[in-house]
Structure 1
Amino acid sequence: MAISSPMSHIEITIDELGARGDGIGRLPDGARIFVEGVLPGERIQARMLDKERAMLVSVVTPSADRVAPTCPHFNVCGGCALQHVGSSAYADFKKKAVLHALERAGVTPAAVEGPIVSAPGTRRRATFAAVKTGKKVVLGFNERGSMKLVEIQSCVVLHPRIVKLLPGLRDLMAKVMKVDKQKADITVTESNGALDILITSPLTKETWMPFPMLEAFKDFAEAQDIARLSWRPAVRTDAELILERKPFYVMLGGVPVVPPAGSFLQATEDGEAALVRAVMDAVAGMKGKAADLYAGCGTFTFPLLRAGFDVYAVEGYKAALESLLTAGRAFPRLKTSVRDLAKEPLSAKELAGFDVIVVDPPREGAAPQMKVLAGSGVPLVVSVSCSAASFARDAAYLTGNGYRLKTLTIVDQFLWAHHVEMVGVFAL
């Protein structure tokens, strides 16, 4: 059997970590092989899965940066990829992930800060998957590289309040999921000691049990002290409020905001604070007009308003913008617009007169808007991103039109995952 054939065993040295945190080594013929759970410099034995991937069997020579994972689910759960990496090497991985992406795009930051890493037990939002199997429900996260569910009993990343909820949530879903193999996603958000739950699952004649379900929801909410509970039949559909026992809100720039059920929220409070601090440091001492593009519920809108800016907040998700507008009634300098910036970016004419633009798009970035923004002449652009690849691509549009990347702040809210966030300050 050839050494690169599936199911054969190999022994290789790991050269580097890839963008997703998997190790990269080479076969004698030079072919690259990807292996999870390893570190640069390690000599390992692995079993080939296909022509490019192998499964770790043993570490022959461990790296000095290797540490024992803290979670019992680490080897199977797909949530974390880097718990085996020591803190210094881990921070270096996150930093290099961003700098390498920028280097490939031909962009060089003048100054770099971070990564600023969120601590364990601070992740305040998670979406669990659930499936009915006989009389029980399996509740957890997908297995690494698979759609198979891993039953989760604990999680060192999540806020303790969410972890404590898991047994009760599992019991609830066993009561409200009627049909065998029925599936659901449950998004749980913690804020100010309160919990918000959004259940996403199709409702049919077979799965709908109005009175038993409502009773189960009520009993669960009382027992677990749930603030708000909602249900929707599918992603990107409106959620129906099932019950609200007490106000659920988040503080954005010192302003209480009631977000729509399941709406986007920064993963950790300290990570959000780091992002806001980087944005506000960039505009320190400035006044005038600011646009907050992809504004969401107002993560950056409200700090900008409180700093004295006239703010134009643009967001494609109407419910999020309505929450922002409701919370911002006390700010006469606030204007808003519901607009899909990927399909209808602000024109150069519309951008004229702004002193600063803050852009915080979804993972795919803001290419249509950045292409226009690059030639707009706006003196300061602050780009916030959760993808090094799309951030670097968008940065190249700006630097290709005379902008300089003055500062880059790297923020890690996704502890032990390969994801990373960043704030880039671009000036003409």
Structure 2
Amino acid sequence: MADFLTDKPANLQRAFLVGVQTDDMAADEGAELLGELKELVENLRITVARTTLVRLRHANPAMLLGSGKAAEIIELAKADEVDVIIFDKALSPAQQRNWEEQSGLAVIDRQEVILEIFADRAQTREAILQVALARMEYSLPRLTRAWTHLSRQRGKGALGGEGETQLEQDRRIVRDRIAHLKRELVNVVQQRDVQRRKRQRIPVPTCSIVGYTNAGKSTLLNTLTGAQVLAADKLFATLDPTTRQLVLRGNQKVLVTDTVGFIRRLPHDLVEAFKATLEEVIVADFLVHVLDVTNPNVEQHHATTLSVLQELGAAEKTTLTVFNKIDAATPAMLQRARALVPDALFVSARTREGLDALEERCLELIAEANTSTELVVPHARYDVIARLHEVGHVQAEEQQDDGVHLRGRFPPTQAAFFAPFVVKR
């Protein structure tokens, strides 16, 4: 069976990147996105030989760019002896095919680069299935790229010739594979739902860390919880959601989940394929939105994350905005961040500066969601006291003759359990 994703050489080493600036984009947005594409491509260990930014007023249906500009780019690409031309803007299957026929080179777009990175990073069964599904759905309308070498074999009979017959067979195989992957994903998601329900039997508050890729989310999770999550300085360093327990003041526990980083122009199909992974965002009690305060594009990163949360149906979640990497920030960077989100917190996951304030704010958010209650528990019922510490936030505890007096905030779902000991609400 052909390689359904591409017909390009297996080992691409040199790339020519083409960015696009359109009239509806901010003045420097095309250049910023091209720089981001360069980082994405280098994450695939491909050398970027040349980049160019094209001003595009009207898209050409056949090639996206005009014929003169296309010829110029092809000439430069061949002079630089590159293996692949990569567009920052999505190419239609027909445009991709036309570019490859005219250039004799592999031609891909930003979406395919991201798919390749996701495939390289996926570790768990669920993430591997999600990447495979996204790649298959991307490749289906592009299968003709794998069969252009059979174009001369098409006959005039009812079946259309050997090439067309094989192409139709492969389309059926891909459609069957897509259906199979979707069924497998349903099973994996059901298993994860069972695990989540087990966690919720003792309703510990949950929080998801979200944000633009490479903002320091995994480092923050590691620092807060002592976890050992991969925290590398590269885009999409980790795809699989990782959940760890954080113990706050008063023995208040919260489950913190690190999620895949967001990015501008994240392919819509990929967001759909990763809905199951990002469900941790939807079911969390609150979100911690991490931003890199030193990044010159922090405003765009903030807007992108809010846009993806909107698409996930999580835009109304209680969200705590945190600017990370303040140890490397200048006063101008901090001022810019305060103007963007006035009530944000400022931390350094590397030096731990500001993390006490972050933990206190998490405690406040948990407390706001719970009911304030006073209880008296008999001395003999330390099982009740232990459970209250486990499921809620005990604000005060005092030993008296008639029992242990406690004041705190506890989830409404636990009301029936501690009702016999309540003295004041």
Using CA pairs under 8 Å that are at least 6 residues apart, name the structure with larger relative contact order, 1 or 2: 1
Please say which structure displays the higher CA radius of gyration. 2
Which structure has the highest strand share of the two?
Answer: 1
The answer to whether the superposition gives a TM-score over 0.5 is: no
TM-score normalised per structure 1: 0.28
